[in-house]
Structure 1
């Protein structure tokens, strides 16, 4: 099996060359000082310099569908200072119900000479342009404004919205106020203006309430607009309490590791921006219960900066496979893959195995589960009559046949009814699938599907279609993997977003080195340094000798991007067989589209029945 040569440099151990390049920095734990000045984007919009427009509406009812706006009042503030006010009565074009007139004091006589909403709305939108919209019970007021914009053809500006009701519920306790009504909060904070169910008065009162609430949330480390919006959301107490774990993390691509008090990895993830991604775990956007459970046990977050996203993805896979964090679900057990093996004997058979052996067997895979391997094996049995018994057969001595031979599902080599040379043609169909052209198996399975569909046996046809898809997908994956893992060394470069170059050295399908040539730096000297310090990798046994299938597929995705350039390649070059399984990609797409159809490989809809494939004997 492959191994790293002792003393060879690892993926992250790049010595300082004489040319400038971006090295992989050491691990930095959350809470440690970063010793750098943050940018304005990282700090966010400070609340002290944010312009708020506090708005209140008076309406004829509670729903925009059957009610109109009778008054708009708004106050623009910034840094605790009033910048302007907007107030106008509006003719709703509807009668005002008596109880509404009694509540607000606005009568039909008052709004008769007032401008219509078509005139008042553009003026308000201009007044509020570029500001953060604030309202008490914001869904009500914003709902009316959005409905008016939609009705009269004005695009909604997409204001950031802050609801003082939600903010009060987060910042105040039941012991302080019995409810979060505007009148209750105004009385609690002793506002200069008392709400009176008139739009401008209520907006002025809401301004005072807003300022008092902002003073309160400052003790919760809420100092920017983004933090205020996040504070208003329904965040779990654990998320709010542990949000400090994201402090000090870099804004760079890499891997982050949540650890508990004993240092055990709990969860490993990757991102193009570590700090932003880790912060998202402490927001309302993160609703997974297992992540909340993980945060309860987490005590720190470690960050490993990487040269680019490919290196970060590879590091993530390797860390997960090594530590098997309890809260990661995928990629934890790469050693549990399965292979479909055609044995090396006079009458070969299919066997599902867990490891590759250095023998003359023919292997198809890797499969993520035994059931998928069984489905693929059943597809082979549908196409060619390979034997399914497990005993070793002699070419001279006959042995009793099984039931499959009696029903014509096996060529009965046990009874010597078929010569080894004739039986080898069936085995060669499987070898062709693995190494090159799968046409024999595909044609026979398609013919079988056609027969079943003609007989209107659609459920059985769907089962055969699933087996065909499993076989083709495995063949496509294997041929793609082998095309890269057979190359001793391949160097690729991708133009980075900042104008530099992302560099990758791949050996036998394993990422041996990764680096970045910054903009304005010649990439060739950087590449020479990477090649000199890259991990030494030796080829091994099987289609994936030096890395997991997932890692090699991640590299393939990087290489297949349109902007990636191949710089150097040793060996025979990177290629797939022209007559390989990849040429059936249209068939795979058609099968995917027909999964829910009654007639397989057609576009007609219908019920879908899932059948467990015939178990292949290992």
Structure 2
């Protein structure tokens, strides 16, 4: 199911209209500006739709000295607050007065900081209100040639406030109300009509990004995949559809809408949204289907704004060649040559480390020369160092060398224990010589080889299974997946009231046909098969049908890692 059309938005899409928002405009007077200072006065005005609903004002006994400069500035003297209620008596009343309101203040971080710290100090839960800062809003809305600064007195004069701020809490709060209304009128002319829009203005969402929020209208509120698409000029000068970004979400509408708000803070996403011309969505039946579809779309389009690997098909394999004297080789593809392939590896360095582990254990040749079983050639330095059995000099017969390579084969396919035991003496010597850094490198190499072996068998076991049908119960129903040779061939959801077995049979009927892949490689990109393996190994997953053996040797991975730790 795809959707790119712009439909009539719902009220949920539009957000909460500003005319319906109840604002509590608050101002505090304090003994100073540090966290150690205390509140001396609280003033607040509650307004909605331009109408004043109520006012709150009280002096507060700070239980500390009021500096002379502060007393002169505010007019609040120690004698005035001596009989005033303490903050523990004021907080409950103010919290009740402002409950459910959007908190507004001029330089809101100052006022809300004092209120939050007072709540924490006296055991009152801070209600986490939505906060609007008229300073931040004014900086976004007003130009420098309109006002020289965004001080409250300057803005009050600019908007012809009925009350002149005088550093008393209620007077300043009343002046801030008029400033707020003046700013709301200005942003209303710029298309800001909801509380969500207002928050975007204060958080500096670019106008280009905000103007494209209509692309989220009509996007379904369902799990699936979304693609930001642009019509860009191609090499021939004609417009060409280009996928810019691919993502997934459990709620497509909410996720897509977030790209046009302050919730999205990544700079590259701001650029992407400005380029995009439409959003395309695909509703998926299960989260695994969404995971897989996202990976496939990224692999197919290589979107410029996706930071994950755009070339997941690029994997490396360790190959034990088929020749009279086999050797290890790093290759990019698996051929139909009956050779042994081990991997995959994401980086060449990891493949080389695995190769070094095998060279440390088995004295197989490391040269790339094609050797004859009957005609000797000169040996390299490794033979003199005892690190190669020198088949080039015919120091070993083809049968003896075949026995050595069979040990390598068994290590790669059945048991990594010989590798661990083979390097254990060297590891002990390094530790005894206090060469701990070298020992750590060797241990890390062994652990990396163990992880690679586990990954190899985990993927190869799924690749060898012609079909696995499995189900897992969730709140939405039974998630059912058909996996063929490590590729997701079908996904279905048996909702409450439906028969899961019948849904599974229907899924098998319409599942994609997947041919058997060569060697241990699955019939999908590696990351897709790993996601499938993660899902199959979750608690609660039940196998409905399986063809083949989904298993791997017991002496692979964790068991070998334990030996490594003991050996070290």
Shift of 1:301: 1.8
- Residue in structure 2 matching 1:55, options 26, 32, 47: 26
Structure 2 length as normaliser, TM-score? 0.92
Label 1:258 to 1:150 Cα distance change in 2 as closer, same or farther (>3 A). Answer: same
Matched, 1:137 2:107: yes
Whole-Å separation in 2 of the counterparts to 1:353 and 1:297 = 39
Contact 1:254 1:271 in 2 (8 A): yes
Residue equivalent to 2:184: 214
Residue equivalent to 2:544: 567
Whole-Å separation in 2 of the counterparts to 1:114 and 1:451 = 78
Contact 1:134 1:164 in 2 (8 A): yes
1:154-303 matches, cutoff 5 A = 154-261=124-231, 262-303=240-281
Whole-Å separation in 2 of the counterparts to 1:457 and 1:376 = 22
Alignment gaps of 5+ in structure 2: 232-239
For 1:460, what is the secondary structure of its paired residue?
Answer: helix
Please give the per-residue CA displacement for 1:47-71, whole angstroms capped at 9, x wherever unaligned.
3333322111001111122x22110
1:113-152 matches, cutoff 5 A = 113-152=83-122
Contact 1:317 1:331 in 2 (8 A): no
Contact 2:7 2:217 in 1 (8 A): no
Contact 1:429 1:441 in 2 (8 A): no
- Residue in structure 1 matching 2:559, options 550, 573, 583: 583
Residue equivalent to 2:414: 436
For 2:46, what is the secondary structure of its paired residue?
Answer: strand
Shift of 1:435: 1.7
- Between 1 and 2, higher relative CO (CA 8 Å, sep ≥ 6) is seen in 1
Label 1:220 to 1:423 Cα distance change in 2 as closer, same or farther (>3 A). Answer: farther
For 2:155, what is the secondary structure of its paired residue?
Answer: helix
Residue equivalent to 2:6: 33
For 2:469, what is the secondary structure of its paired residue?
Answer: strand
1:483-522 matches, cutoff 5 A = 483-497=461-475, 499-522=476-499
Structure 1 length as normaliser, TM-score? 0.85
Please give the per-residue CA displacement for 1:550-605, whole angstroms capped at 9, x wherever unaligned.
11011111222224332222233x222223334345578x79xxxxxxxx96xxxx
Label 1:133 to 1:275 Cα distance change in 2 as closer, same or farther (>3 A). Answer: same
Shift of 1:146: 1.9
Whole-Å separation in 1 of the counterparts to 2:297 and 2:425 = 46
Residue equivalent to 1:64: 35
Moved more, 312-321 or 348-357: 312-321
Please give the per-residue CA displacement for 1:519-551, whole angstroms capped at 9, x wherever unaligned.
333333332322221111121212224111111
Residue equivalent to 2:435: 457
- Residue in structure 2 matching 1:84, options 32, 54, 65: 54
Please give the per-residue CA displacement for 1:483-514, whole angstroms capped at 9, x wherever unaligned.
212111112223333x3222211111111111
Contact 1:356 1:542 in 2 (8 A): yes
For 2:313, what is the secondary structure of its paired residue?
Answer: helix
Matched, 1:547 2:524: yes
Instruction: State the aligned residue count.
Output: 560
Residue equivalent to 2:235: none
Label 1:80 to 1:525 Cα distance change in 2 as closer, same or farther (>3 A). Answer: farther
Contact 1:56 1:72 in 2 (8 A): yes
Moved more, 290-299 or 507-516: 290-299
Shift of 1:222: 3.5
Whole-Å separation in 1 of the counterparts to 2:114 and 2:220 = 42
Label 1:241 to 1:438 Cα distance change in 2 as closer, same or farther (>3 A). Answer: same
